[in-house]
Amino acid sequence: MKRHIITFALALAVGVSLVAQEKTPSKGFTIGKWIEVQNAIRYELNRSYVDTLPVARMERAAVDALLENLDPYTVYVPEEEQEDFTMMIGKTYGGIGAIIYKPEKDGNVIINEPYAGSPAARAGLRCGDEIMAIDGETTHGLTSQESSDKMRGKPGTQVVFKIKRVYSGKEEDVTVTRERIHLPDIEYAGMLNDTTGYIYQSGFTEGVSTAVRENVLKLKEQGMKKLVFDLRGNGGGLMQEAIKIISLFVPKGSMVLSSKGNTPESEEKFYTTLDPIDTELPIVVLVDSGSASASEIVAGGLQDLDRATIMGRRTFGKGLVQGIRPLPYNGQLKITVAKYYTPSGRCVQAIDYASRNEDGSVGHIPDSLTHEFKTAHGRTVRDGGGITPDEVLTAKEYGRLVYSVVLNGITDQYALDYVRRHETVPAFEDFHFTDEDYKDFVAFAKDKKFDYRSDAKASFDAMKRQLEKDGIADTMKEQLDAMEKALEMDKETFLYIEKDELIPFIEEEIAVRYWFQEAGIKVRLRYDDQLKEALTRPLI
């Protein structure tokens, strides 16, 4: 009897399951249903709504809301946003090659950072020069974005600026021919010492693998016996460029990546097709929580093939492949089409989007939720989100004031002010911010608006607000007042306390103004404790 009951129950369960499956609508039916519902809503709104409909704004919001329910990388790009989209993914635009600063809407545009070798630099524009007019139209009354838009344009076209020179005050017209500006992915390459080469790469746009190849060969000519390949903060880019970079260091024909989506054509394995330049060179790859996508392909591929030692912090955890699909009216859809997997079979995509840190990188994931994989030499690596380094390095932590000063542009503004008052400075190698210089910075910064509370004071303020909300602050008033008084600190005092942390940022900003962007990287390397630690760690 018991057996018959169990058999009947199983049959009933299977029957219910089959009925449920039969009643589950297909994806095509569901999409068609909601298109019909949405069109009906649009019809009724157009026919009956009391006020004028902001149709374009409504439809754009509807499209954005539709895509927001998916991953963060699937987005709609209308025709009018193509230029910004191209700049974002390709780091290219038509213009003069300079960063501008416009502190006042009714003031002049200020040249803040011309790029090395750019049309702006070749035309003699330098930091501190003021643009009074663009093609005969005054810059007064224009926003920073409006000014930038007027400076950009089709490569080969000319733009005429009325300039007020930073040191002489002389006014003159300067004609600049716009070019296709490409911000380099290799921001610096050089020797750290007699035998260690260093490459800092900030992106993966078209052609970067060729630049990496050229720089590796140059460094080898200079005596490089070990390479430090810095991908910290590199948010990724083109998958094919990542594959080509791996191919520089592994045997031709190596499988370095695979992808899998929801269609058979999305399943693919990628092999190196180029001859390597060096399969024995010791390599350190530096990564952090800002290293994502193509950076993780390179780090994960070289790690799985036991071809490099990965050092730093766990990477971002973006294991998704995007494609570009054309849409009506010259729009585009950047859509996630697959997940990618490193040679060992790992997917670096975070298990879920909820388990992330404040910066968006992968949060803590217990080993029980991850899987083990083996590298070419049998070492254990795990999936679950990002690439875990072979050697974890100490992360630099800054005080709250440092973030506030830098993110509020105080160091940037000071550098511009410094340039205006110093036409010449010592050679780069001899340039260091002195105690007297820092005194000058404090005098400048203390009158600027920024949140100068310490971490402790900020935490205290939050606690006090909560106590007030709970209605018990009055019972602790004496203790709270005493603690608040102890934590109070004026701007000048706090700026001196954070002197050692702020000086590197100030030096970097000033160096860029006199010697262009590469000099800023060199200054950063002076104070890069994580890099110095990496040079002492053993390699696999």
Residues 119 and 259 in one domain: no
Q: Is 64 domain-assigned? A: yes
Question: DSSP class of residue 81?
Answer: G
Token pair listed for 113: 């950072």
Does 178 lie in the same domain as 190? no
Specify whether 162 is located in the same domain as 241: no
Q: What is the largest CA-CA distance in the chain?
A: 105
Instruction: Give all strands (DSSP E) within 245-390, no chain letters.
Output: 255-260, 268-271, 283-287, 309-312, 320-327, 331-341, 372-374, 380-382
User: For this structure, is 164 an active site residue?
Assistant: no
Instruction: Report how many domains make up the chain.
Output: 4
Angle, helices 499-526 vs 435-445, to 10°: value is 120
Intra-chain end-to-end CA distance of the chain, in Å: 65
Does residue 302 form part of some domain?
A: yes
Q: Does 329 fall in a domain?
A: no
Mark which of 151, 182, 213 sits at the end of a domain. Answer: 182
Q: Which residues contact 295 (CB under 8 A, 6 or more apart)?
A: 204, 231, 234, 235, 236, 242, 287, 315
Is 304 catalytic? The answer is yes
Tokens of 56: 């374009």
Quote the domain boundaries for residue 172: 92-182
Annotated active-site residue in 288, 304, 383, 412: 304
Q: Which of 91, 162, 318, 457 is catalytic?
A: 318
d(CA 387, CA 152): 39
- Per-residue pLDDT of 471-496, as tens digits, reads 998 888 888 888 888 888 888 999 99
- For strands 331-341 and 320-327, give the pairing: antiparallel
State the DSSP string of 191-238: ESSSSEEEEEE--B-TTHHHHHHHHHHHHHHTT-SEEEEE-TT---B-
Is 205 in the same domain as 221? yes
Instruction: Look at residue 469 and tell me if it is in a domain.
Output: no
Residues 177 and 190 in one domain: no
C-alpha–C-alpha distance, residues 185 and 233, integer Å: 12
Task: Characterize the bridge pairing of strands 331-341 and 255-260.
Answer: antiparallel
Q: How many residues does the chain have?
A: 540
Q: 317 and 276, same structural domain?
A: yes
* Type of residue at 310: I
* Same domain, yes or no: 289 and 261: yes
- Nearest-angstrom CA–CA distance, 176 and 161: 8
Report yes or no on 10 lying in a domain.
Answer: no
Which pLDDT belongs to residue 87?
Answer: 72
Q: How far apart are CA 294 and CA 246, in angstroms?
A: 11
**Domain-embedded: residue 17:** no
- Asked if the structure places residue 11 within a domain, the reply is no
Catalytic residue among 147, 247, 291, 293: 293
User: Is 318 part of the annotated catalytic residue set?
Assistant: yes
**222 and 260 in a common domain:** yes
Same domain as 349, residue 269 = yes
Helix (H, G, I), strand (E, B) or coil at 445: helix
Answer yes or no: do 178 and 244 share one domain: no
Which structure tokens are listed for 434?
């002195």
pLDDT at residue 423 in the model = 94
What pLDDT shows up at residue 12? Answer: 47
Domain C-terminal end among 392, 408, 438: 392
Which of 130, 162, 182 lies at the terminal end of a domain, its last residue?
Answer: 182
CATH (domain of 130):
2.30.42.10
Predicted pLDDT of residue 357? 67
CA angle 61, 64, 68 (to 5 degrees): 135
In this structure, are 119 and 227 located in the same domain?
no
Residue 364 in 3-state DSSP? coil
Residues 372 and 434 in one domain: no
Residue 482 lies in a domain: no
User: Tell me, what's the pLDDT at 480?
Assistant: 87
CATH assignment of the domain containing 219: 3.90.226.10
pLDDT at 4: 47
**List of the chain residues with pLDDT < 50:** 1-14, 16-20
At 328, the amino acid letter reads P
